[in-house]
Amino acid sequence: MGSVVLSVDAELGWGFHDFETPPIERVESGRRGWPVLLELCSEYDVPATWAVVGHLMLESCDGDHATHPAPPGWFERERGEWRHRPDLRFGPDLVDALLSSDVDHEFASHSFSHVLFGRPETDRQLATAELERSLEIASDWGQTVDSFVYPRNDVGHRDVLVDYGISAYRGRSPTSDGVRGLFDSAVRDRSMLVEPVVDEYGLVNVPASMFLFGFEGPARTVAESIWEDPMVVQARRGIDEAARTDGLFHMWLHPNNLTHERDDRRMRAILAYLDRRRAETGLTVETMDEVARRVAAARGVDGGTVAAASGPAGNGDD
């Protein structure tokens, strides 16, 4: 019997601070979506992997970050436009709510300040600083980190993850997001399942199957008014496929995708269906860390060792 993973990129304003014009509605919805999603996970008893941006776990900061090797201007928005918006930069209250949830969520990292690891401008020093700082802050909160979600799924510097004891990351989805993904899944009958693999660095890549909010804008409104929410239909297909096989269906979102009640309804419909199928079949819900342990253990049984697959030293710009 298969399993389902839900991963959550929890970032408040940090997911958009480098945008010239941040999407206001999304930015302003981070604080709305976080408790809504936590509540839905509790209601349907769905443990998720919450990848949290380290900076938002701070109580405050002066915006200086003098010792952080980020490019000039990287912290400009928190020094300027968001200077008086602590609600977009800090969320210890939200992290408290996550950690005190009655559901056994996995606490994971989404970097310190949402640096894009795969960009050529991001050197090893910057990637290291992002990992180190986010793990320090996690430790201040009594948390260890096993899984990492790359900002904008921009994979890079995997050797740095290894150095900091990370065991899993979310790799890119083999299927397209949005309308194209819907077409591939519904019309071409493409599988929604993904295969977690141990990569050449010894990390477990737990690829995404589906971004739950990849189909937005006017097309969504039209599609929903004619049919059911097509993303709910697609997520159900993935859940059913996992229930019928021994495969993995991995869905993800940001709390800030829950901008309106209709987004909450989508999440509720998906989690309710997941809960029901879990009760009816042997389907399980796993965190990324649990998948990584399972995959590494299976590999151990096969005679291989996870650490032996490490890549060549200094080759971090993959």
Residues found near Zn ion in the complex (CB under 5 A): 9, 11, 15, 61, 151
CB 31 within 8 A of CB 87: yes
Task: For residue 52, give the H/E element and its range.
Answer: strand 49-52
User: 204 phi and psi, to 5 degrees?
Assistant: -95, 120
CA distance 288 to 171: 11
Nearer residue to Zn ion within complex by CB, 149 or 243: 149
CA distance 105 to 99: 8
Smallest separation (angstroms) from Zn ion to the CB of 228: 28
With CB atoms as reference, the residue minimizing the distance to Zn ion is 61
Nearer residue to Zn ion within complex by CB, 232 or 251: 251
The torsion angle over the Cα atoms of residues 23, 26, 29 and 33, rounded to 10 degrees, is -170
CB 141 within 8 A of CB 43: no
Nearer residue to Zn ion within complex by CB, 34 or 44: 34
Nearer residue to Zn ion within complex by CB, 158 or 278: 158
Smallest separation (angstroms) from Zn ion to the CB of 150: 8
Nearer residue to Zn ion within complex by CB, 102 or 121: 121
Q: Is 102 helix (H, G, I), strand (E, B) or coil?
A: coil
Q: List Cα–Cα distances, 189 to 175, 176, 237, 249, 255, in angstroms.
A: 12, 13, 10, 15, 29
Q: Where are the alpha helices (DSSP H) in the chain?
A: 24-43, 76-79, 86-89, 92-99, 124-140, 158-163, 178-186, 218-226, 230-244, 261-280, 288-301
Smallest separation (angstroms) from Zn ion to the CB of 115: 11
Smallest separation (angstroms) from Zn ion to the CB of 266: 19
Q: Is 63 helix (H, G, I), strand (E, B) or coil?
A: coil
Nearer residue to Zn ion within complex by CB, 208 or 243: 208
Smallest separation (angstroms) from Zn ion to the CB of 39: 21
Smallest separation (angstroms) from Zn ion to the CB of 78: 5
Smallest separation (angstroms) from Zn ion to the CB of 149: 7
Nearer residue to Zn ion within complex by CB, 185 or 257: 257
